[in-house]
Structure 1
Amino acid sequence: MSPAEWETLLDRLRHAARTGQGLNGVSPGTAARLLGHDALTLCLATPRGQLELLWSDDAADRLGPAMDDLQYVLGEGPTLEALHTARTVIEPDLRNTPVGRWPQFLPAARTDVRTVVAVPLLLGVVSVGVLTAYRTRPGAPSAEQTAATDRFARAALNLLLYASPARLLTGEHGAGLALHRAEVHQATGVLSVQLRVALDQALLRLRAHAYAQDRALLDVARDVIAHRLRLDNGSS
């Protein structure tokens, strides 16, 4: 990443801060390109330790959101590892990663993604979220690219804190950012009532059904909301 490209990215962040747009004022696609990646996602942790996708590449192939949803369904992967360890995770080629590292995620990651860089968003020693970069070509990013991605992660966190520090610290991730999985939460509520179970159990049922049927979690959620799909206590 050249100094001019980094300055361009910083200018976009400064403009977003000045105009009160927050992270919505920065295009994920543009940021990914300037950093040398193909897609970016930014997730923040909920009080229950789950990750909520708030900002992602809006490209037609939905590369970043698809990978994030897969990790959300399976409960493992590089983004979650970065959150739990509070350390940057760099995987230069998912196709050559030992399956034992993420035994459910790796066989299911049937996408064009080859390289992943997951940077924890740290407040002191506490990981409050993760910025994850995806590339469709194998190979570890250069030290310069990794450093630039890390700097952008810190800048993005500062922008979120500037926009709405209270919401960030309490897990209320509004700040003008749309929840990618809003329909999943809505469907979880529907299932909780239908099955007479707690919300956590309803969410597990929703995720399990999506995994068992090899369907996108959002598609399953939309079917539940529209009453096209009803899960009973015996369905997977």
Structure 2
Amino acid sequence: MADVDVLLLRLAQGVVRDVERGVPLPVRLCRAAVDILECDGAAMTLAYTHLERVTLCATDDTALAIEETQDVLGQGPGHDAFRTRAYVRLDLMPEDAGPDPRWPLLKSEELSALAPVVVHALPMGEGSGTIGVLTLYRRGRDADLDIAAGLLVAQVLAAALLADAPTLERAGYGEWSDRALVHQATGMVVAQLGLPVADALALIRAHAYAHDHSVGETAREVVDHELTFSGSPDEDIEST
């Protein structure tokens, strides 16, 4: 593992980069983590298994695809890292005949197309103070990660985000706006069907999965009245 002071210095250098261009702190932190841990991309998601889950940033389309697939399916290394507060790894290899048995639903054409790639999920924070998950990926086989260094970086990122809480509370980022849409859409489905909130969110996720959409995209359809869930078993779900 690299020296702690060296890691912190590199993180500080990464955070300073692009600050004058107005790049949001979560994005700068995410990019710095990728550089420090020598990965190809990363995403940071808060409240991973909760209704208020939000992906603060994703460095590229691959990182975003990994996060959105887990969001839609409700399982994956990120979910386990958040629940267990421990490091979790997923190897996506082209020869895999099926999904990882730990996550039987975690399979899609989009994920399969990423192979070979190794996904590393690290809890952000410690114990009950875990606020989210830093998910990194490295292309290729046997793309190992310095886990001790990764856990340290994830903890430091969590501390930085908590210190920047006023910024995070402002809905200035697209990702926060998307999650607000999910809340609004969930409430609309609750009103349409009289379901508990968790069940309404499950329906939105199911519809997103069936139509190869992100949860955010499906939520926007509900809010824009392009998608209406049936009020009775005899009616079909309407999508315009």
Letter in 2 for 1:220: T
1:44 to 34, 43, 46: 46
Where structure 2 has 5 or more consecutive residues not aligned to the other structure, the ranges are none
* Partner SS, residue 40 of structure 1: strand
Q: Is the 8 A contact 1:210 1:216 kept in 2?
A: yes
TM-score (norm 2): 0.74
In structure 2, the residue matched to 1:163 is: 164
Shift of 1:200: 2.1
* Partner Cα separation in structure 1 for residue 62 and residue 223 of structure 2: 25
In structure 2, the residue matched to 1:127 is: 130
Shift of 1:82: 0.7
Where structure 1 has 5 or more consecutive residues not aligned to the other structure, the ranges are 168-172
In structure 2, the residue matched to 1:141 is: 144
Shift of 1:28: 2.8
Q: Is the 8 A contact 1:13 1:159 kept in 2?
A: no
Superimposed CA distance per residue, residues 84-130 of structure 1 (whole angstroms, 9 cap, x where no aligned partner): 11110123445548631211013563341521111112334553321
Shift of 1:2: 8.1
Q: Is the 8 A contact 1:13 1:26 kept in 2?
A: yes
Structure 1 vs Structure 2: percent identity of aligned residues? 28
Shift of 1:137: 2.4
Report which structure shows greater RCO (CA 8 Å, sep ≥6).
1
The structure-2 alpha-carbon separation of the partners of 1:90 and 1:25, relative to structure 1 and needing over 3 Å to count, comes to: closer
Letter in 1 for 2:193: L
In structure 1, the residue matched to 2:220 is: 222
The structure-2 alpha-carbon separation of the partners of 1:99 and 1:154, relative to structure 1 and needing over 3 Å to count, comes to: closer
Q: Is the 8 A contact 1:163 1:175 kept in 2?
A: no
* Partner Cα separation in structure 1 for residue 160 and residue 104 of structure 2: 35
In structure 2, the residue matched to 1:174 is: 169
Aligned pairs for 1:206-217 (under 5 A) are: 206-217=204-215
* Partner SS, residue 68 of structure 2: helix
* Partner Cα separation in structure 2 for residue 107 and residue 15 of structure 1: 35
TM-score (norm 1): 0.76
Shift of 1:40: 1.2
In structure 2, the residue matched to 1:201 is: 199
Superimposed CA distance per residue, residues 38-88 of structure 1 (whole angstroms, 9 cap, x where no aligned partner): 221112227x745723422243xx222222121122121000011111110
In structure 2, the residue matched to 1:55 is: 56
